[in-house]
Amino acid sequence: MDNPARMVILRGMACDTDILIVGGGLNGPCLALALSQAGLRSTVIDALPGETRDAGGFDGRSYALALASARLLQAIGIWDAVRENAQPMLEIKASDGRAGEGPAPYFLHFDHAEIEEGPMGYMLEDRFLRHALLAAMEADPNVTHLPGVRVIAQDTSGPASVTLEDGRTLSARLLVGADGRQSGTAARAGIKRQGWDYGQTALVCCVAHERPHHGIAHQFFMPPGPLAILPLPGNRCSIVWSERHARAAQIDALDDDGYLEELRPRFGDFLGEIALDGARFSYPLNLTIAQRFVDEHLALVGDAAHGVHPIAGQGLNLGLRDVGALAEVLADAKRRGEDFAAIDVLDRYQGWRRFDTATLAASTDLINRLFSNDNPLLRAARDLGMGAVNAMPGLRRGFIREAAGLTGDVPRLLQGKPL
């Protein structure tokens, strides 16, 4: 940050950049690239070195990206770099399941052919998305990436500054926390969080299988938690398998053969023989929502604002909606000559995003509670309810559009329009 050409002058004060983004995971880089389109300069700081985050085995997740999220990636110049590794998601089937019994007949079936826009979304492995984001930040003159250094203090009394663990201080007009579920940015600002532990751990891996998946995603609702089987390019699927913490720890401790022995009776044989393809990962699951998404000269995006259950594969999609909404609010304020870091401008972002977040957090929470149990009465009632949704084409199409991220007040970037 010692390049004077990169200094921004604000009311006589020298700022290093327009916006400081703490967190270079997924939402932080997307926000920096989006803001660049409005001529806003960002510095993205991440505690982990770039090589660690770029290593193929860093994060085993694959993301079910809604169609609207893919449009945002297109609009910020990322999609062409990941397109050939993205698997179109053509259908979603949901059913009850019990280990050893295989899935019951599905009670929900969403088919992309019922809407006109194309696939509902795409499955994309973290390694491809992360690599493309790191390369795009490197190439963008409006983005400065500071990897391998932790933010330890901040001051947003006006405008905003952060202190890094190596003693440097950086300043900007606005500070954005994109630092994940345990956001230090939120904590340092005194923003409390609400939420709880789900008592579940998600076991994540990739499997290769004999038969083609035809772009169909499956969700089996097992008593301890859902098992999602999500199509990847080739005869491969990403597995997100939720178990109670203690059981997950036992399964996690098994060698690969033992792990597969546990997975097979849950997975069934509809895709033929299965084999592990790559490393195994585990993620404890909790709900954590910040009580406010904004403060003076400060905004939160992504998991820093809201970490939800992965049951509907919506966490990153929700974060990318934040990215699209915040970038739009800031860009519009800049065009009008407003102080984009002022609280009344930031309140527009919070007002836009809070309802969507609360609705999604509540519905994922409810679905997980309703489906992750073996109560026969609940089981019968929910299967009846799901069967009713499935039988109504209008309602079914509504859910498909919702899964594709096409409903509600969709930010311009998620409609594929320029900022």
Sign of the dihedral defined by the CA atoms of residues 354, 27, 159, 36, in that order: negative
Contact yes or no for 7/15 (Cβ under 8 A)? yes
Bridge-based pairing state of the strands 17-22 and 42-46: parallel
User: Among residues 18, 21, 25, 329, which is the contact residue for ligand FAD, using CB under 6 A?
Assistant: 25
DSSP label at 22? E
User: By CB under 6 A, which span of 84-92, 98-106, 137-145, 177-185 interacts with ligand FAD?
Assistant: 177-185
Pick one of 151, 172, 175, 263: the residue that binds ligand FAD (CB under 6 A): 151
Q: Is 286 exposed, middle or buried (0-12, 13-18, 19+ CB in 10 A)?
A: middle
Candidates 42-50, 96-104, 357-365, 384-392: pick the segment binding ligand FAD (CB under 6 A).
42-50
Q: Cβ(158)–Cβ(13) under 8 Å? A: no
202 binds ligand FAD (CB under 6 A): yes
Q: Which is nearer to ligand FAD, 184 or 268 (CB)?
A: 184
Report the DSSP pairing between strands 108-111 and 91-98.
antiparallel
Span of 25-33, 247-255, 376-384, 391-399 interacting with ligand FAD by CB under 6 A? 25-33
At its nearest, how many Å lie between ligand FAD and the CB of residue 174?
Answer: 17
Query: Is 265 within 8 Å of 254 (Cβ atoms)?
Result: no
Q: Binding of ligand FAD at residue 150 (CB under 6 A)?
A: yes
Question: Per rule CB under 6 A, is residue 64 in the interface with ligand FAD?
Answer: yes
Query: To the nearest whole angstrom, how small is the minimum distance from the Cβ of residue 53 to ligand FAD?
Result: 6
Please state, in angstroms and rounded to a whole number, the distance separating the CA atoms of residues 34 and 347.
19
Distances (CA, A) of 91 to 57, 229, 281, 382, 404: 28, 12, 26, 21, 11
Span near ligand FAD by CB under 6 A; candidates 34-42, 58-66, 355-363, 409-417: 58-66
CB of 337 to ligand FAD, least distance (A): 31
Report the residue number, 233 or 387, with the smaller CB distance to ligand FAD.
Answer: 233
Helix axes 393-403, 376-391, angle to 10 degrees: 100
Q: Name residue, tokens 């102080």.
A: 339
The piece of 46-54, 270-278, 371-379, 386-394 that touches ligand FAD (CB under 6 A) is: 46-54
With a CB cutoff of 8 Å and minimum separation 6, the contacts of 270 are 102, 103, 211
Q: Which of residues 309-338 bind ligand FAD (CB under 6 A)?
A: 310, 313-317, 319
- Among 199, 283, 332, 397, contact with ligand FAD (rule: CB under 6 A): 283
Binding residues (CB under 6 A) for ligand FAD: these are 22-28, 45-48, 61, 63-64, 150-151, 178-180, 184, 202, 204, 240, 283, 302-304, 310, 313-317, 319
